């Protein structure tokens, strides 16, 4: 199946394209941005969730904020989430965030105003560098929903290899 021609199937909204990068092939440098990096702060959960809902607006109804807050609040009780969540700020504005689950970039979100300016590359490179600090991981991966055309294009432009469609 050519995932670039995929049409959203409401009966199966969670079909994803897997992407992978191997440690031996990873040589990206982090761009020079003056961003403030923060860990997860429960007091900012609403800001994170608004950005998350905007990023997944093709899938999540915009009036679903309470469900997203509950979802992230539940995640905040998990050690892997708290240990790996990183948010990035330009002055007092949230640019984006990611969190990891082992060697998987579980979520990566960039505010629309900062897309196509190199910030996504910055966050993704930062995430992969964090993963590869653990010498047990020979590769890092992520999944992108097939209806997320911008995400698919971004990950391919970044140079990630197509993995398994799940």
Per the model's pLDDT, the better-predicted residue between 107 and 34 turns out to be: 107
pLDDT score, position 65: 86
Check whether 1 has a pLDDT greater than 60.
Answer: no
pTM: 0.85
pLDDT score, position 103: 96
User: Which residue, among 79, 53, 54, has the nearest Cα to 68 in the 3D structure?
Assistant: 53
Per-residue pLDDT reduced to its tens digit, 10-46? 555 668 899 999 999 998 887 777 899 999 999 999 9
Per-residue pLDDT reduced to its tens digit, 132-165? 999 999 999 999 988 888 999 999 999 999 886 4
CA separation, residue 15 to residues 12, 56, 141, 146 (Å): 6, 14, 16, 6
pLDDT classification of 67: cutoffs 50, 70, 90 = confident
Just give the CATH number of 3-165: 3.40.630.30
Please enumerate in sequence order all residues whose Cβ is within 8 A of that of 31, keeping only pairs 6 or more positions apart, or say none: 118, 121, 122, 125
């Amino acid at each position: 199946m050519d995932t670039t021609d995929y049409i959203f199937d409401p009966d199966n909204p969670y079909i994803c394209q897997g992407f992978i990068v191997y440690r031996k092939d990873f040589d990206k440098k982090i761009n020079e941005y003056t961003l403030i990096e923060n860990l997860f702060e429960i007091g900012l959960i609403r800001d994170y969730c608004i950005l998350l809902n905007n990023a997944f607006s093709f899938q999540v109804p915009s009036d679903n904020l309470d469900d997203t807050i509950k979802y992230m609040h539940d995640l905040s009780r998990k050690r892997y989430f708290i240990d790996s969540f990183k948010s990035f700020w330009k002055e007092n504005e949230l640019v984006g965030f990611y969190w990891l689950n082992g060697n998987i970039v579980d979520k990566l979100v960039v505010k629309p105003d900062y897309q196509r300016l190199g910030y996504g590359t910055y966050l993704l490179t930062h995430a992969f560098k964090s993963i590869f600090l653990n010498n047990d991981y020979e590769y890092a991966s992520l999944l992108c929903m097939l209806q997320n055309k911008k995400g698919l294009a971004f990950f391919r432009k970044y140079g990630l290899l197509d993995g398994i469609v799940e």
